[in-house]
Amino acid sequence: MNLKVLLPTQVLVDEEVTKIIAEGQNGSFCLLERHVDFTAALVPGLLVFETTEGREVFLALDEGVLVKYGSTVLVSTRQGVRGQDLAELEKTVEDQFKVLDDREKMARSAVAKIEATFVRRFLDIQKHV
pLDDT digits (tens, 9 = 90+) for 32-44: 999 999 899 999 8
Mean pLDDT for back-to-back runs of 10 residues, the chain (129 residues) = 94 96 92 93 92 91 93 93 73 65 70 80 77
Distance set, CA 69 to CA 24, 31, 73, 114 (Å): 17, 11, 6, 47
- 55 within 8 A of 29, measured Cβ to Cβ: no
20-49 burial, b at 16+ Cβ within 10 Å, e below that, comes to: bebbbeeeeeebeeeeeeeebebbeeebbb
Alpha-carbon span 25 to 117, nearest angstrom: 42
Pick the CATH number of 2-84 from 3.30.465.10, 2.40.50.40, 2.60.15.10, 3.20.10.10: 2.60.15.10
Strands 80-83 and 72-77: unpaired
Q: What are the residue boundaries of the structural domains of the chain, listed by start?
A: 2-84, 85-129
